[in-house]
Structure 1
Amino acid sequence: MKSVLLFVLFFMTSLNAQDLEKHLFILSGQSNMARLNPKLTFTPTVEAAFGKENVVVVKDAMGGRPIRLWYKDWKPREGDEPKATGELYDRLMKKVNAAAKGQEFETVTFIWMQGERDASEGHGEVYAESLNGLIHQLSEDLGRDDLYFVIGRLSDFDMMNVKYPHWTMVREAQVQLAEASPRGTWVDTDDLNDGIDRKGNVLENDLHYSPEGYKILGTRFAEESIALISGSNSVGSAENGM
């Protein structure tokens, strides 16, 4: 009888240990995230690092959307319009809660690729504050104070701020926020928007990335996530273009 109890105790302990080895990855943003297929490079890379059974990947993204559709306390620099809605955040969290139900995770990592719309609308002055607020909003809702995050920095699409007046402002805000946190980092996308698109058209400093560019982006997101989790990440390293 004693040996049976010991076996059950050992088995339950092993299950708990395995459960805590699990890692949750939450991907969201606008079009450049929407066009990224995690199954091509992101998911295989994190599964290779942690084991397929220990990885849960959730993605929800929609093109052309500002951060106020995620961050519920978003406010413009002046006035009270436009209003924050948080509708895409709620949609994302439905997927997260469904995928994570009944599981415990050793780590949770938020991967964010967004900012083009805010740069276009001229909301760069509140972007760092808004993204920081979104990260804290997610941390609180998940009940975690150890959330990791990886930001896809805006590319070199409009470095003169001609079409999108706050392009470089948002780009710089993303880097500053990532480098200010020991749990955050960012990835470079400047080399992903050249090449050939799915229709055979030539891309050069385009708003969107080439099919190969999205594969590379998925790999970079995965590698930076793994580095954060393993403690080997160096924010603002040469790999990130600094």
Structure 2
Amino acid sequence: MRRTFLLHLLSVIITTGAVAQDAALPAKDKFFLFLLVGQSNMAGRGVVEEQDKVVNLNVLMLSKEGKWVPAMDPMHFDKPAAGVGLGKTFGQIIAKANPGVKIGLIPCAVGGSPIDTWKPGVYYPATKSHPWDDMVKRVETALPAGTLKGILWHQGESDSSTGLAENYRPKLEDLVQRLRTLVKAPDVPFIAGQMGMFDGVPWNPEKGLVDKATRELAKEVPHMAFVTAEGLNHKGDKVHFDSAAYRELGKRYAAAYLKMTK
């Protein structure tokens, strides 16, 4: 019993120390960076469990302070509710598929943010932030260290209303172009995830429009993919996925990315 306790304590100390300091970085071409953008279902709202606290030294994240540290949930810091998301699972799978490289995740999602807030100079009162401008600063911090390999996007709930849903497609197409221009990678993979399709929680027509726009755009824009959320559960609020669903979403994003880049 005492030995088990000491081993657990040692694990906690090692994990805490690893996260508290800058992680060792590989050469730039061996450090694959992924941008995580969107609203709360990208940031993650799942309950953090023990498995989410385990670090993989080949999967790093850019901390709120702009330091590279081992990835651990919650990765985002947009709201106090931030929890388990899809990013860490995605990073672990991509790292395993690419021996000899490290993965760098750049969390930038903002809970509740409509797509119109992802433009230069736009202020989002709910989080007292500028989603696009804040992301730009973090991208500028991250890019000198590695190579941008993908953009992960999960958003749409805040645009699923009359007057917004009808214009979602051109706004998303514009965002894809602006993000690729920002990271100076016109062909970088862009993966968009589907909003929750939860049993007993019917969609309104506007949510269907946003979903359709995203699906169709993914078929027409080069190097863009759509990830389904079919069969996944919510955490009880009928909006956010539960922890297991976020991990499954991470697997689906990773499968889409590997299929695009194999």
1:58 deviates by 0.8
For 1:47-86, list aligned pairs within 5 A.
Answer: 47-51=95-99, 53-72=101-120
Distance 1:73 1:132 in 2: 19
For 1:15-164, list aligned pairs within 5 A.
Answer: 19-35=28-44, 36-38=84-86, 40-51=88-99, 53-72=101-120, 87-103=130-146, 105=147, 108-120=149-161, 122-157=163-198, 159-161=202-204
CA offset digits 1:169-228 (Å, max 9, x no partner): 00100100111123011111132235xx3xxx5x7xx22111110111111112211221
- Amino acid in structure 2 at the alignment position of 1:63: G
Instruction: Name the SS of the counterpart of 2:108 in structure 1.
Output: strand
1:102 deviates by 4.4
Distance 1:41 1:187 in 2: 15
RMSD between aligned alpha carbons?
2.5
- Amino acid in structure 2 at the alignment position of 1:33: M
Distance 1:142 1:29 in 2: 16
TM-score (norm 2): 0.65
Residue 72 of structure 2: aligned partner: none
Residue 16 of structure 2: aligned partner: none
1:39 deviates by 5.8
1:177 aligns with 2:217: yes
CA offset digits 1:47-73 (Å, max 9, x no partner): 111236342211111211100111359
Aligned residues: 189
Distance 1:180 1:55 in 2: 28
- Amino acid in structure 1 at the alignment position of 2:101: E
**Structure 2 vs 1, CA of residues 91 and 113 (structure 1 numbering), >3 Å: closer, same or farther?**
same
Distance 2:191 2:30 in 1: 20
Question: Contact 2:31 / 2:102 at 8 angstroms: preserved in 1?
Answer: yes
Aligned-pair identity in percent equals 29
- Amino acid in structure 2 at the alignment position of 1:100: L
